[in-house]
Structure formats: C-alpha cells, structure tokens
C-alpha cells in the first residue's frame, strides 16, 4: 500500500526546506544585497556604524546568496573583444634585435657588416655584407634560441632561423607562438581585471572565450563606450632614444627606426630608434601629481632592472633627447640634463587633472600586451532592465495564479496538493539558482514562466493515470499507487528529451540564452522531483489521516 | 464540481481525417519553405551584424522625421520601427533603429553611434537611448553556425534517444514532427517578418523540447497498449492511446498556454518575439504529436511483439522506488 519510509519522508522534506531557505534571500533582494555589500566592505576596509547596521539587516545564519541578475535585467555594458595576439610577435622580435646585433658583431670577421631590413610581416630580417659567412651567422643567431615545450610533449626551439642569399630571417617558431598567445591572453585578462577593479564595480564578468577572445560584462556602467575607453587603451609606455625630427609620418626614418607623431604639437614627428630603453612593464608605480609649475603630471618609479637600464642609458646620453611614448604618440621628448640613477621620474605633458589620473591608473594596471578589436558591444540602460523585471514579475504572478486556479478546478483536492508542490517548485528553482550562483536573464524569467506551465505536466500525467486506475483497481490506495507506478516511464522519458534540448541550449548559447537554458534545465529537475516525491508525500500524508473509502481526482 | 475540458471517456477517431490532416501538414511545411526561401527571414543583428538602438521619448515617435535625420549620415540600410506595448505609459514612446553593419568595421564605432544619437536628438530633444547593441559580422557569422548546429544537434540527440527507448519508426516519426514544428515556426516568422535572432533559436529548441515531450507521452502509451492488446490493429491501438492521453494533452497544453499568454501580454516588448515563437510552437507541437508523428509511425509500421524486454531498444527505467 501507500507506504513511504520515515527516512525518505525526512529527506524529501529536508530537500524542500533547504530549497525554500536558499530561495528566501531573493524575496528581500535589496536588503540582502546591502547586507552582502556591507559584509564585504567590513571584510575589506573595517567596520563602520553604517556598515554594521546594513550588515545586521539580514541575519548572518541565513543563506545570503542571491540570484545574479543578468545585464539585460540590471543594465550595464557587454563587450566581446578579440586580442590581436600576433602584434606581440613583432614586439618580441624587436626586443630581440639588440641581442642579434651584438652576437653578430662578435663574429664580424666572418659575416662582415650587418644591417636590419625593415619588414611588415612579423619577421626579423638581417642582411650581412659577406654572404659566405652565412653558416656562421645562422649558427650564432640560432644560439640565441631556447628550447620550449610543445603541447605534444616534445621540445622545439623558440626561434625559426633561416638564411637565403645574404639575408637571415628570424621568426618565432609555432610552439613559441602558441606559448606567446597564451601568455598574451592571460596578461590581457589580468590587466583588464585590474583596470576594472580600479574603478570598483560590482561583479564584473571577465572571461576568456576560445583562442583569442575576452568577454567582459560590467553591470552598472553607463555605456559600452565608457567601458571601451577604460579597457581598450593599450597604455603601452616606452622610453625611446630620439634620432631626429621629421616633417611628416611618411618621411624616411632609416633602418631600425620608426616615426611617431607628437601628442600635442601639431605636425611634429619624431624619428626614434625602434628598440626601447625601458618600457611600461618596468614600472612599479605611477601616481598623478603636479610638476614644479603646478601642471598636472604623472610620477613613476621603475623596478630594479628598469632603474638600472634607465640609469645607465641616461648616464651615457647626457645632452641627448629621449622620447616618452604612449601608444605610438610622443608625450614629450626632454633632453637628458644629467644621469637619473634613482629610477623615478615625472611625465609632464599637456594634461588635464583627469588625464593624469586616468594615465596613472592605466600605467599602474600595466599595459595591454596587444591591441583589441571589439566584435560585439551591448549597452543596456538600468531603467530598461528594471522595466523588464517588473513586467516579468507581473507575468509570473498572473501566470501562476491562472495555472493554480485551473489545476484546482480540474483536479479538486488533488489539484490543490499539486499547487502546493508547484509553489515549492518555483521556490526551489530560485533556491538552486542562488546556490549555484547562476545568472537570471530576461529569457530566464520566460523559462520560469514556461516551467510554471509545464511543471504541472508530471502531476497531470499521474492524476490522469490515477483516474484511469480508479475504474479498474481495487480501492483508492491501490489506484494511487498504480497511477504513480505507471505514469513514471512517461514522465521520465518525456523530461529527459526536454532536458537534452536544455543542455544543448546551455552548451551553445551565451548570455541571455544560456540563462534561459539554466532555468529551463533546473525547472525540469525540480518539477520531476516535486511531482514524483513531494506531491506523492503530500497525498500520502492526507491519505493516512483521512483514510477515504473513495476518492475523486 | 470539476472543470472537465475533455469528457471522462473519449472515443474520437483521430485517424478519420488522416489523409487530410497529414496532407495539410505537408502542404503547410512546403508553404513555409516557399515563404522562407522567397521572402526570407528578418534576421536580427545577432545573425546579420549591425547595430540596434532603442529610443525612448516623451514625444510621439515620428518615423519619417527620424529617417530624414539619419539620411545625411549615409549609413546604408537603416530601418526604424515604432514599438507598441500595453505596458507603456502615455509618455513612453519607443522605437527601434537598426543600422546595417558598416563596411570594413568589426563593430559599429562609437562615432557612428554618437552621430546617430546626435541626429535623433536634433529631431527630438527629449529622446533617450535605453539600449544600444552592436554585433560585428565576424561574430554574427559564427552565431549562425552555432545556431544551425544547435538545432541539428538537438534533433539528432532526440532521434537517438527515442530510438534507444522505443523503435526506429518512432524516432523517425518524432523527428519528422519536430521538423514540422520548426519549419512552420520559421515559415510564420518569414511571413510576418518577425525579428529572428538568437532568442528565436532558443525558442525553437524549446518548441522541440516541448513537442517531443508531448510525442513521447503518447508513444509511451502506444508502447503500453501494444503489449496489452496484442491482436488489435496498429491503427486502433494508436487511436486508443491518443484518446487515453487526450485529457492530459489538453491539460498540459492548457496550463502552458495560460502561462505563456500571460507572459505574451504582460511580459514586455523585449521578449515578445521570443514568447510568441514558443506559444505558436506549443500549438503546432501539440498538433504534430497527434497528426504527424503518429501518422508516420502508422505508415512505417512497428514490431508487434513487445514481450521481450530488449531488442536494440533501451532499458525501461520506469520502475517506481518511492
């Protein structure tokens, strides 16, 4: 007969209770959110009376995780960026050039004079005047290469060095490119994260996607443009020796040199050596400040190796100008008056206070190793999100009430029991979503409404089956038992197929669609659970008290 | 007193109009295909690249004036549609401005968006821009691929599962029914030029999920009745099964439609296309379970001896344990 062992009853009720407990914070969303923020603030910056008050608004013993609201509900900006990973190859080879030059100079007897050839294809080409010394030259350059582990477990060298005629071509090997790409991506992720954290915003999402893409979602930010300005600037700071000035960007710079425009002097171009003395990577700190004339500036400090290189260079080049270059523009090109051994300095330019603050933030967070292009940008205003939540809430309530009424009218007392299960079901969906830290999106709300409609299906299957069994079975208890037994295969089969589609949606979807897949999938699980266990338990409780001779479903 | 949408015992002959209904389904599928191929879908920026800007203003939307303001910017194909919704207040006038992907740009640049916003502000100073979304052609191409792949993967996975649990005839029947639902939805979207975007694909998969759910419940009953009535002709067994599950089919479709209609009316305009697709799909999905899937199985026939538990078909885990 209708028997459920005590332990099973306890487990079922326990699971339901846990679900409801975890769902509860969402009913007091703003209060719990304030509590969480305050708790985090106390953790980070110590307690203040206001924080204490906000933190005590929600008891610590209760669960306090909330369903994250997606960008379409909270408002904010979404960017999908592609990192131009191959830009780094050229930079790597540029920094290799001085080593190649020095190494080849040591075998000058065999190779003669050397000259760098300008290339555009991410390779380093060197022409030697005595083509007969090619073998020695190749050997010398190859000695600069180092072994690098590959994905397949073997080792390759970092450089592919080849020679033809009088020209040596150096490029990064495939394994080294892959390793460089990975490093570039990790660096980019880290720097974006630091820059966004500097601004201090709630729960940003910064994720690597695929080989060379980064997904950035920042709730509460005004627009994608603002976000782009923050993270899209490479902030590549370099200190380059100045060769001379030019009248236009097309002027002949000479081998190994580049031309960059001046930031604030129109029509002024500097011819600079390509290989930097020091770069922004050598910086350990940057702060906004004012120079002796009271103009906004940025002070910076180098780490030990940067300080040494900078000190040595300035000592050797007193009286010569050097250029401070930010993202291919010359901020200033002062003349070195004396050696600067301390490793700290000041950048002055035509800055506003905001400029200098922003520049200091960017320098401190570090430069992005490569530029990014933005493939996808979305800005959603907070009011639109609020409207969507409001509309979704009303639709949920109306849909819920209509379904509850329909069920009660159709199945009477059994319908009411199913309704209790349905409400617990919705609570459990929210409980699970909060517990796993899932994100609720607008289609996700639609998923919940859809689940409200579909969740009754399993109960309907059982009830219809009980109705049928009542015609033939001996007594109501047997009919209920058979109803559950015989409906089960239909319930399981039907829901597994739906779950398959939810899984596929989750795997292929992103953002809002994924939010929908999660609520749909979680909804299927909870509705099977409530139909097979919870409604059944409720019916058994009722049946044990009443012991009815006949039932009407 | 009970609400009974379906009498306690029914004995409708669902196969009486078999040829007509099946033929009508086939014609509808062909028509959908024709409309789809001739008129084409109104792809959203997810699949085509481009930018949409949602505008909101206290003044009435003047599409002509907006268009005239954007004309000098030379943005190529610009579409402007006013959005209506019962939830909007009297001073909420919303429009969607859509700009095609610009040549040689991965995503529409800030300058373009700023120029558009400035031009519209000239027309209507009170205008605001609650959302701006821009997708580059590179990503939209990949999204199309992913979407096609997802729908195909869902169909294959379901076909495989049904074959595992039932018989191959059932899995063909189920998948043809799903094709029918998906194609009819695409046809409707082409016909009325409703925006077809990533959310619509999610809706299609939901339809697939719901429709298969419905089909499986009936198949399950057919399987059971085939064991029970070994000598009855297949057509009668199937008809009986549909009749026996009719009450459940109506109840479940009913509650689902109730919930969806609430969402359709009250859920706001942002997800209306999405909800509309699902609502339509529930209707055709329910129909196709009875009139398409079953007809296919009937045409293909099936084995009649189900007494042996396994013959290439999967295990039955429908045993109760609580």
Structural domain spans, chain B: 18-43+140-300, 50-134
- pLDDT > 50? residue B319: no
**Inter-residue contact A26 to A68 (CB < 8 Å):** no
**A511-529 helix and B198-228 helix, angle to the nearest 10 degrees:** 30
Helices and strands (H and E) in chain A: how many: 16, 21
Which of A464, A492, A504 has the CB atom closest to B150's CB atom? A504
Give phi and psi for B73, each to the nearest 5: -80, -10
What is the SS3 assignment for A330? strand
Closest B-chain CA to A71: B131
Please tell me whether residues A462 and A535 are part of one structural domain: yes
- Listed in sequence order, the residues at least 6 apart from B307 whose beta carbon sits closer than 8 Å to its beta carbon are B227
**Sequence-ordered list of residues with C-beta below 8 angstroms from that of A425, at least 6 positions apart, any chain:** A451, A455, A523, A526, A527, A530
Pairwise CB contact (< 8 Å): B150 & A485 = no
pLDDT of amino acid B26: 92
Confidence (pLDDT) at B308: 58
B248 burial level (CB within 10 Å; 0-12, 13-18, 19+) = buried
Residues of chain A with pLDDT > 70, as a percent, come to 97
Tell the residue number behind the tokens 């589609």, with chain if given: A501
Which residues in A lie closer than 8 A to residue B146 (C-beta atoms)?
508
* C-alpha–C-alpha distance, residues B100 and B90, integer Å: 31
What pLDDT sits at residue B139?
A: 84
Which pLDDT tens digit goes with each residue over A25-74? 988 888 888 888 888 888 877 778 888 888 888 888 888 888 888 888 88
Q: Which of B8, B110, B131 sits opposite A384 (nearest CB)?
A: B131
Structure-token pair, residue B248: 């459940």
CA-nearest of A416, A410, A413, A525 to A464 is A410
d(CA A486, CA A508): 35
Neighbours of A315 (CB within 10 A): 13
CA dist B231 and A33 (Å) reads 65
| Spatial separation of the C-alpha atoms in residues A111 and A133, rounded to whole Å | 5
State which residue of chain A sits closest to B278, comparing Cα positions. Answer: A450
The CA-based angle B294-B300-B305, given to 5 degrees, is 90
In this structure, the answer to whether residues A372 and A241 fall within a common structural domain is yes
Buried/exposed B4-33: b ≥16 CB within 10 Å, e otherwise: eebeeeeeeebbeebeebbeebeebbeebe
**Distance in angstroms (rounded) separating the CA atoms of residues B136 and A354:** 32
Q: Name the burial class of residue A67, with classes exposed (0-12), middle (13-18) and buried (19+) by CB atoms within 10 angstroms of its CB.
A: buried
Q: Are residues A389 and A484 in the same domain?
A: yes
Cβ–Cβ under 8 Å, residues B14 and B292: no
Residue B107, pLDDT score: 59
DSSP A98-162: HHHHHHHHHTHHHH--EEEEP-SSS-EEEEES-GGGHHHHHHHHHTT--EEE-TTS-EEESEEEE
> Is A412 a domain residue?
yes
Could you tell me the pLDDT band of residue B106, with boundaries at 50, 70 and 90? low
pLDDT-derived band at B317 (thresholds 50, 70, 90) equals very low
Say if A434 falls within a structural domain: yes
Q: Give which of B256, B257, B319 to mutate to test A binding, by max A Cβ within 10 Å.
A: B256
**Interface pTM, i.e. ipTM:** 0.83
Candidate from A173-177, A403-407, A409-413 with smallest mean pLDDT: A173-177
Q: Which residues of B touch A517 (CB under 8 A)?
A: 202
* In the predicted structure, residue A116 carries a pLDDT above the cut 90: no
Which chain A residue's Cα is nearest to B268? Answer: A391
Contact A392 B199 (CB under 8 A): no
Residues B8, A467: Cα–Cα separation, whole Å = 9
Shared domain check, A265 and A149: no
Residue to substitute from B153, B262, B272, B282, interface A, most A β-carbons within 10 A: B262
Strands A269-273 and A257-261: antiparallel
- Whether A524 contacts A472, CB under 8 Å: no
Helix (H, G, I), strand (E, B) or coil at A288: strand
Ramachandran category for residue A290: left, alpha or beta (phi over 0 → left; psi -120 to 50 → alpha): beta
Q: What is the CATH number of domain B18-43+140-300?
A: 1.20.1640.10
Q: Which of A412, A550, A374 is nearest to A476 (CA)?
A: A550
> Cα dihedral angle (A32, A34, A40, A46), rounded to 10 degrees?
-130
Residues 6+ apart with CB under 8 A from B299: none
Question: Could you tell me if A429 and A474 lie in one domain?
Answer: yes
In this complex, the residue of A395, A456, A509 whose CB is nearest that of residue B202 is A509
Same domain (yes/no): A285, A398: no
Q: Do B260 and A450 touch (CB under 8 A)?
A: yes
| B255 with A454: Cβ contact below 8 A | yes
**A52 assigned to some structural domain:** no
Give the residue among B255, B113, B83, B118 at the shortest CA–CA distance from A407. B255
Closest partner residue to B154 (CB to CB) among A82, A412, A504 is A504
pLDDT band at B1 (very low <50, low <70, confident <90, very high): low
Please indicate whether, in this complex, the C-beta atoms of A388 and B268 are within 8 angstroms of each other: yes
CA distance A488 to A494: 10
Superfamily of domain B50-134: Ferrodoxin-fold anticodon-binding domain (3.30.70.380)
- The reply to whether A277 and A322 lie within a common domain is yes
Within 8 A of A489 by CB-CB distance, chain B residues are: 220, 316-318
Each residue's pLDDT tens digit, A164-219: 888 888 888 888 888 888 888 988 888 888 888 776 666 788 889 888 899 998 88
Q: Which two tokens stand for residue A1?
A: 């007969």
pLDDT-based confidence at residue B154 (cuts at 50, 70, 90)? confident
Pair A408, A293 in one domain = no
**Position A552 in a domain:** no
pLDDT at A159: 84
Cβ separation A443–B278 shorter than 8 A: no
* Spatial contact of B99 and B51, defined as CB atoms under 8 Å apart: yes
Q: Does A468 contact B258 at a Cβ distance shorter than 8 Å?
A: no
Q: Does residue A260 carry a pLDDT above 80?
A: yes
The phi, psi pair for A277, rounded to 5°, reads -75, -55
| Residue A31 is assigned to a structural domain of this protein | no
Interval A448-504: pLDDT, tens: 888 888 788 888 889 988 888 888 877 888 888 888 988 888 888 888 888 888 898
Residues linked to residue A116 through DSSP beta bridges, in sequence order: A126
Closest CA to B256 of B273, B281, B291: B281
* Residues of B whose CB is below 8 A from A402: 258-259, 262
Number of domains in chain A: 3
Could you tell me if A476 and A370 lie in one domain?
Answer: no
Q: Is residue A51 part of a domain?
A: no
Q: What is the mean pLDDT of residues B259-282?
A: 90
Could you say which DSSP state residue A3 is in?
A: -
From the candidates A501, A506, A507, A536, which should be mutated to test the interface with B, based on the most B CB atoms within 10 A?
A501
Q: How confident is the model at residue B301 (pLDDT cuts 50, 70, 90)?
A: confident
**What pLDDT is stored for residue B315 in this prediction?**
46
- What string of DSSP letters covers A485-527? HHHHHHHHHHHHHHHHHHHHHHHH--HHHHHHHHHHHHHHHHH
Residues of A in contact with B259 (CB under 8 A): 399-400, 402-403, 449-450, 452-453
SS3 for A390?
A: helix
The residue range of the domain holding A330 is: 233-378
- Same domain for A277 and A363, yes or no, is yes
Residues of B in contact with A457 (CB under 8 A): 213, 248, 252, 255-256
Distances (CA, A) of A37 to A202, A268, A430, A542, B274: 9, 51, 21, 45, 35
Q: Inspect the interface and report whether the beta carbons of B259 and A384 lie closer than 8 Å.
A: no
- In this predicted model, what pLDDT tens digit does every residue of A458-471 receive, in sequence order? 888 899 888 888 88
Q: What is the CATH number of the domain that holds A421?
A: 1.20.1640.10
Residue A100 resides in a domain: yes
Q: Is residue A228 part of a domain?
A: no
pLDDT at B309 over 70: no
Among the partner residues A400, A412, A504, nearest to B2 by beta-carbon distance: A412
Mean pLDDT (chain A, rounded)? 84
Residues A374 and A386 in one domain: no
Q: What's the pLDDT at B104?
A: 64
Closest CA to B261 of A216, A446, A308, A24: A446
């Amino acid at each position: 007969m209708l028997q459920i062992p005590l332990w099973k009853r306890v487990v079922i009720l326990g699971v339901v209770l846990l679900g409801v407990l975890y769902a509860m914070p969402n009913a007091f969303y703003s209060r719990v959110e304030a509590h969480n923020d305050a708790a985090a603030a106390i953790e980070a910056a110590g307690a203040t009376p206001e924080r204490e008050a906000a933190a005590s608004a929600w008891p610590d013993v209760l669960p306090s995780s909330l369903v994250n609201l997606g960008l379409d509900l909270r408002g904010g900006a979404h960017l999908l960026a592609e990192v131009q990973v191959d830009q780094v190859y050229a930079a790597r080879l540029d920094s290799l050039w001085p080593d190649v030059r020095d190494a080849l100079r040591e075998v000058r007897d065999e190779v003669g004079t050397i000259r760098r050839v300008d290339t555009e294809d991410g390779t380093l080409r060197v022409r030697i005047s005595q083509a007969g010394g090619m073998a020695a030259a190749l050997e010398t350059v190859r000695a600069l290469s180092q072994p690098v582990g590959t994905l397949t477990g073997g080792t390759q060298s970092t450089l592919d060095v080849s020679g033809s005629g009088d020209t040596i071509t150096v490029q990064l090997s495939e394994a080294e490119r892959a390793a460089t790409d990975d490093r570039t991506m990790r660096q980019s992720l880290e720097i974006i994260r630091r820059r966004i954290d500097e601004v201090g915003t709630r729960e940003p999402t910064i994720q690597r996607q695929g080989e060379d893409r980064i997904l950035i979602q920042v709730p509460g930010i005004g627009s994608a443009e603002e976000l782009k300005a923050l993270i899209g600037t490479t902030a590549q700071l370099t200190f380059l020796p100045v060769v001379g000035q030019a009248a236009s960007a097309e002027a002949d710079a000479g081998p190994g040199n580049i031309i960059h425009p001046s930031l604030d002097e129109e029509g002024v171009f500097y011819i600079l050596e390509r290989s930097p003395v020091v770069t922004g990577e050598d910086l350990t700190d940057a702060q906004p400040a004012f120079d002796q004339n009271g103009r906004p500036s940025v002070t910076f400090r180098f780490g030990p190796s940067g300080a040494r290189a900078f000190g040595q260079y300035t000592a050797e080049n007193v009286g010569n100008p050097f250029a401070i270059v930010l993202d291919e523009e010359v901020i200033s090109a002062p003349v070195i008056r004396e050696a600067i051994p301390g490793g700290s300095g000041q950048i002055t330019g035509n800055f506003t206070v905001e400029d200098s603050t922003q520049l200091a933030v960017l320098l401190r967070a570090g430069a992005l190793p490569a530029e990014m292009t933005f493939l996808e940008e979305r800005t959603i205003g907070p009011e639109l999100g609020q409207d969507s939540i409001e509309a979704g809430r009303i639709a949920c309530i109306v849909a819920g009430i209509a379904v509850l009424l329909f069920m009660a009218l159709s199945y009477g007392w059994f319908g009411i029991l199913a309704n209790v299960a349905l409400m617990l079901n919705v609570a459990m969906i929210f409980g699970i979503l909060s517990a796993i830290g899932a994100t609720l999106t607008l289609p996700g709300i639609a998923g919940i409404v859809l689940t409200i409609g579909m969740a009754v299906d399993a109960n309907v299957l059982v009830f219809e089956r009980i109705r049928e069994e009542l015609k033939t079975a001996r007594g109501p208890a047997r009919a209920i038992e058979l109803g559950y037994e015989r409906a089960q295969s239909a319930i399981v089969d039907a829901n597994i197929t739906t779950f398959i589609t939810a899984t596929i949606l989750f795997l292929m979807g992103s953002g809002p669609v994924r939010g929908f897949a999660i609520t749909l999938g979680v909804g299927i699980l909870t509705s099977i659970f409530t139909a097979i266990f919870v409604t059944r338990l409720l019916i058994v409780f009722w049946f044990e008290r009443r012991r009815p001779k006949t039932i009407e479903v | 007193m009970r609400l009974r949408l379906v009498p306690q015992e029914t004995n409708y002959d669902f196969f009486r109009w078999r040829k007509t209904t099946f033929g009508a389904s086939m014609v509808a599928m062909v028509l959908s295909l024709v409309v789809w191929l001739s008129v084409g879908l109104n792809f959203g920026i997810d699949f085509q690249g481009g930018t949409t800007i949602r505008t909101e203003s206290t003044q009435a939307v003047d599409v002509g004036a907006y268009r005239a303001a954007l004309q000098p910017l030379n943005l190529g194909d610009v579409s402007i549609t006013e959005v209506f919704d019962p939830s909007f207040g009297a001073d909420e006038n919303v429009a969607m401005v859509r700009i095609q992907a610009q040549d040689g740009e991965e995503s529409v640049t800030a300058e373009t968006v700023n120029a558009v916003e400035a031009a519209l502000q000239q027309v209507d100073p009170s205008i605001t821009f609650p959302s701006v979304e821009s997708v580059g052609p590179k990503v939209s191409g990949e999204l199309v691929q992913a979407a096609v792949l997802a729908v195909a993967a869902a169909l294959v996975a379901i076909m495989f599962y049904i074959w595992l649990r039932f018989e191959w005839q059932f899995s063909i029947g189920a998948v043809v029914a799903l094709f029918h639902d998906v194609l009819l939805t695409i046809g409707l979207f082409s016909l009325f030029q409703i925006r077809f975007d990533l959310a619509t694909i999610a809706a299609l998969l939901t339809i697939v999920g719901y429709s298969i759910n419905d089909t499986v419940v009936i198949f399950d009953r057919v399987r059971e009745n085939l064991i029970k009535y070994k000598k009855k002709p297949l057509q009668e067994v199937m008809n009986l099964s549909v009749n026996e599950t009719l009450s459940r089919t109506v109840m479940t479709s009913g509650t689902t439609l109730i919930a969806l209609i609430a969402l359709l009316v009250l859920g706001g305009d942002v997800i209306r296309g999405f909800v509309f697709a699902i609502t339509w799909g529930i209707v055709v999905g329910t129909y196709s379970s009875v009139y398409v899937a079953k007809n296919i199985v009937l045409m293909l026939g099936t084995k009649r001896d189900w007494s042996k538990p396994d013959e290439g078909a999967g295990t039955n885990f429908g045993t109760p344990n609580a």
